[in-house]
Structure 1
Amino acid sequence: MDSGALRIVQDWYRTGNPDLLSPDIEWRVLESFPAGGIYRGRDDVIGRFFPSVKAHFSAYETHPKTFMADGETVITTGLYRISSPSGVPGEADFAHVWTVRDASLVAFRQIADTAAINARSMRA
């Protein structure tokens, strides 16, 4: 297990520090997720993805539960805790697949219960 890769992913969840993202990160979010699609580069993720997805909810939090690392790949499972624009709370399961290279997050892929998420988003 590459403890360096695991530490970097854990640091991301703990701090959200954009410096952990590679300037060239590929960020893949399910098309059925609010603000879904492919984002390329740190500026696109921070400047476009996060503001767009958070605009769909009155609360949006990511709570990782488990971490599995193998070389430069780290898989995280957990819960999104979200609230609809009117404040109705909900939860949705997720799995995130990260690629870490040269002490930087270079790729992200999301798998999630988008039906539960969309039931609480502006799409509902």
Structure 2
Amino acid sequence: MSASADIALVRKVYESKAAPEVLQEVMDPELVWDITPGFPGGGVYHGLESVGRDFFGPLMENFEAFYPVGEEYFADDEGHVFALGHYHAVTKKGNSADVRFVHIWTARDGKLVKLQQAGDSLVVDRVLNA
């Protein structure tokens, strides 16, 4: 796929606010989901099913809303898309924050196969414990 087609896949995730049906559509079932240590749920998850159950399940126990907002996108010719943006987070207690992130996606054969994430875990910690 072209760099612009790969960016379109990633944009679809953000524009849907990471809607489960969109994730199913654009992500490979064997997806690797690599979240920065120290971030809630930090670690490496293997498979879309594990991402939903083991990452998003526990994460959403603390949040009314938690979704990515893409702001800038860059791509190379090797299937990598670099996305800069923020998570919009609203806790169950009603606290809110926008948390900066950098995502590095890998696309292959029209599907997203890997995410590497770096996010501001300090801001997430503060909004959860305010």
TM-based fold match above 0.5: yes
Higher helix share: 2
Q: What displacement does 1:115 show? A: 0.2
For residues 81 and 57 of structure 2, what CA distance do their matches in structure 1 show? 25
Cα RMSD (Å) of the superposition?
A: 1.6
Among candidates 82, 96, 99, match of residue 106 of structure 2: 99
Paired residue type of 1:76: A
Structure 1 Cα separation of the partners of residues 65 and 7 of structure 2:
27
- State how many pairs are aligned: 123
Aligned to 1:36: 42
Identity over the aligned pairs, expressed in percent?
Answer: 27
What amino acid is the match of 2:54?
R
Task: Tell me which moved more, 51-60 or 18-27.
Answer: 51-60
> Deviating runs (4+, > 3 A) in structure 1?
none
TM-score, structure 1 as length reference: 0.90
Consecutive unaligned residues of structure 1, counting only runs of 5 or more, are: none
Determine if contact 1:57/1:120 at 8 Å carries over to the other structure. no
TM-score by length of structure 2 reads: 0.86
User: 1:6 Cα shift?
Assistant: 0.9
1:45 is matched by which residue type in structure 2?
Answer: V
| Structure 1 Cα separation of the partners of residues 76 and 102 of structure 2 | 15
